[in-house]
């Protein structure tokens, strides 16, 4: 399938706010979505890792999708994560997303289920055949059982099973080789999921970035992308350096929380401090940032002019 979405630019994985009772906070979600759209992002990715998709039941997933589609109002595409442990579950998620107005699906290899590359190829083919929406492949081996091999991505792209790749594998060399492999496919987009090597990825030919940190500072990533697209590489590097400094918040509770909770928790804490959401809690059993780390995030945001003193 040839995509008509023209996927490019900054497509943040949208954080899912909870209220004080642990339920989705629709008002907070709308505030985050407006914050991102006002920041100039080029798309919205809901129900990904930063969205804590695995914590949400079907009704909650539907609420997130419906809210994002309403807020986007056709201004930017809404990409919906449909990750799950089995192909049939992913298909069910995909059909829900399509019914609620999503423009594309985002799909990993199954998690918990152990698959090889051939079965993973079939997994993507099955979902694509069952749901008439473009599919974005998501390579995040830390959360699933397998890395999408270079040959697998090339096969999926050339069969037009998927229209784009989000690479959160940490394999920067492999990503660079994919950029070369697929340079003759203008209809296929390659995105890095890295917050900290975005400038290098764009220099290598990447079409965009899917940074969780953009929940906090969408304007910064849009500036970085605009500088890169204009060939202003010195300015792009300076913006990347500033964003790397901002990214240090993900380590403030690294000795007390898991890597995922420390990262997503710092983003949610920032959004709460910025007055966009009411709670920085995450899905259980992940713990929120402890008070000392919250204060460090506050001071960090003040120092970087993202929060008043």
| pLDDT for res 3 | 52
Looking at the chain, the whole-number percentage of residues with pLDDT higher than 70 is 99
Residue 48 CB partners (closer than 8 Å, separation 6+): 13, 14, 81, 83, 106, 138, 210
> Domain locations in the chain?
9-232
Q: Judge whether 180 and 149 are in contact, CB under 8 Å.
A: no
> How do residues 134-154 score in pLDDT, each as one tens digit?
999 999 999 998 999 999 999
How long, in residues, is the chain?
309
Domain 9-232 is in which class? alpha beta
pTM for the full predicted model: 0.96
Residue 79 is given by DSSP the state E
Helices 87-99 and 117-130, interaxial angle, to 10°?
30
> How do residues 79-129 score in pLDDT, each as one tens digit?
999 999 999 999 999 999 999 999 999 999 999 999 999 999 999 999 999
């Amino acid at each position: 399938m040839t995509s008509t979405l023209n996927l490019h630019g900054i497509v943040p994985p949208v954080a899912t706010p909870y209220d004080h009772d642990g339920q989705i906070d629709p008002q907070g979600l709308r505030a985050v979505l407006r914050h991102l759209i006002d920041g100039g992002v080029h798309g919205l990715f809901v129900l990904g890792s930063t969205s804590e998709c695995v914590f949400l039941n079907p009704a909650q997933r539907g609420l997130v999708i419906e809210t994002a589609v309403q807020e986007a109002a056709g201004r930017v595409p809404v990409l919906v994560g449909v990750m799950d442990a089995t192909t049939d579950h992913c298909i069910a998620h995909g059909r829900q997303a399509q019914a609620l107005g999503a423009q594309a699906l985002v799909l990993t290899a199954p998690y918990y289920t152990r698959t090889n590359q051939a079965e993973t190829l079939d997994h993507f083919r099955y979902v694509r055949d069952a749901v008439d929406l473009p599919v974005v492949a998501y390579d995040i081996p830390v959360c699933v059982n397998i890395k999408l091999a270079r040959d697998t991505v090339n096969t999926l792209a050339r069969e037009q099973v998927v229209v784009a790749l989000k690479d959160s594998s940490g394999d920067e060399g492999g990503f660079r080789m994919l950029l070369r492999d697929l340079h003759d496919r203008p209809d296929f987009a390659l995105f890095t999921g890295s917050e900290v090597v975005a400038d290098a990825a764009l220099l290598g030919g990447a079409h965009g970035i899917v940074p969780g940190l953009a929940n906090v500072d969408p304007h910064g990533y849009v500036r970085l992308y605009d500088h890169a697209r204009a060939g202003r590489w010195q300015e792009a590097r300076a913006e990347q350096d500033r964003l790397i400094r901002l990214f240090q918040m993900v380590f403030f509770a690294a000795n007390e929380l898991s890597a995922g909770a420390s990262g997503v928790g710092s983003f949610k804490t920032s959004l709460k401090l910025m007055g966009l959401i009411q709670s920085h809690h995450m899905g259980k059993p992940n713990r929120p940032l402890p008070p000392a780390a919250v204060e460090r995030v506050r001071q960090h945001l003040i120092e970087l002019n993202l929060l008043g003193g």
